[in-house]
Amino acid sequence: MFIIPVITHAQSRFHLTLSGGFTNYYGDLQSKPLTLDQAHGSFGAGIKYDVTSHFAVRGGILYGRISADDKRNKASLRFRNLNFETKLVEANLLAEYSLFDLESKTFTPYVFGGVALFHFNPFTYDSSGSRHFLKPLSTEGQGLSQYPDRKEYKLTQFALPFGAGIRLRVSEKVTLAYEFALRKTFTDYIDDVSATYVDQFVLQAARGSKAAELAYRGDELKDGNPIYPDDGTVRGGADSKDWYYFSGITITVGIGQLFFHGGGKGRISCPKF
pLDDT for 76 equals 85
For residue 253, the cross-strand partners are 16, 174
pLDDT for 75 equals 87
pLDDT for 9 equals 43
Averaged pLDDT for residues 233-251:
94
For Cα atoms 6, 8, 9, give the angle at the middle one, nearest 5 degrees: 65
Q: Kindly report the backbone phi and psi dihedral angles of residue 204, in degrees, each rounded to the nearest multiple of 5, phi listed first.
A: -65, -40
pLDDT for 256 equals 64
Average predicted confidence (pLDDT) for the chain: 90
Cβ(8)–Cβ(260) under 8 Å?
yes
- Residue, of 24 and 237, whose pLDDT is higher: 24
pLDDT for 239 equals 86
State pLDDT tens for residues 43-56.
999 999 999 999 99
pLDDT for 13 equals 87
Listed in order, strand segments (DSSP E) in 186-270 are: 243-254
Averaged pLDDT for residues 135-147:
96
Give Cβ neighbours of residue 195 (< 8 Å, ≥ 6 apart).
140, 150, 188, 234, 235, 236, 238
State pLDDT tens for residues 111-132.
999 999 999 999 999 999 999 9
CA distances from 91 to 64, 114, 129, 160 (A): 12, 11, 32, 11
- Residue, of 75 and 3, whose pLDDT is higher: 75
Query: Could you tell me the pLDDT band of residue 31, with boundaries at 50, 70 and 90?
Result: confident
Averaged pLDDT for residues 80-108:
96
Euclidean distance between CA atoms 123 and 59, whole angstroms: 29
State pLDDT tens for residues 188-223.
999 999 999 999 999 999 999 999 999 999 999 998
pLDDT for 10 equals 43
pLDDT for 12 equals 63
Domains of the chain, CATH where assigned = 4-126+153-191+242-254 (2.40.160.20)
Query: Could you tell me the pLDDT band of residue 238, with boundaries at 50, 70 and 90?
Result: confident
